[in-house]
Structure 1
């Protein structure tokens, strides 16, 4: 009887240990996936254009419609163009000298304004610029960004 009890206790100990290891491994798996996703987005923040665009729409769309008088479609197009310009700039300006960086940035801004003028009037472009200027004034950048 003592042998059966002893063997049952050993089997129960092994079963409990195996169960704990399985649960621990299952709990660690989502953390590993989350760490991979975080490191991928940190390594290249421009990876997921769709989620960046959605975040911009959440942040700016309602206020921009209200303050600039643009339609929802126009605001969407403005946000898309601004995001494209920012992603292009972040990709193309790396490694350039200050003079080259300034020249390329001026080219990108001119191209953006040309695209804006295809679907916005001059007054609407001014109102969009004023909206962004006011937003920047009321929401200063955090240190280190």
Structure 2
């Protein structure tokens, strides 16, 4: 078999590109697969989310334009929690704030959360959770806002 200048067999390069493209495609649909667990396999409840999670959320708000959050979230495992966050947007920042929230999580690991900032602002979110609770994917559902992100258990 002939070797290419890179020292690899010529047939290997397309295979590696295919595997890489497949990995990128899998990464792009992973949050959807988390929310669409096989019937009877996912067993989530509010107790699934407990402890500290950290991550970034970003998107656009009609009020302030592009924005990003870095956050530490404490889930209490009983449908409540608190957040410490820092945000940046096109009009101001960095701004630190805290929140309290309530959430509901269905057996299929999908749920909803209502978040109240220390300023009184209330936001609404849908979420999907890995069946063991190690990751939480969020999407804000308020009008004029498109914010999404992922939290990882620490």
Whether these two folds match at TM > 0.5 is no
The structure number with the bigger radius of gyration is: 1
TM-score when normalising by structure 1: 0.33
Decide which structure has greater helix share: 1
Decide which structure has greater strand share: 2
TM-score when normalising by structure 2: 0.32
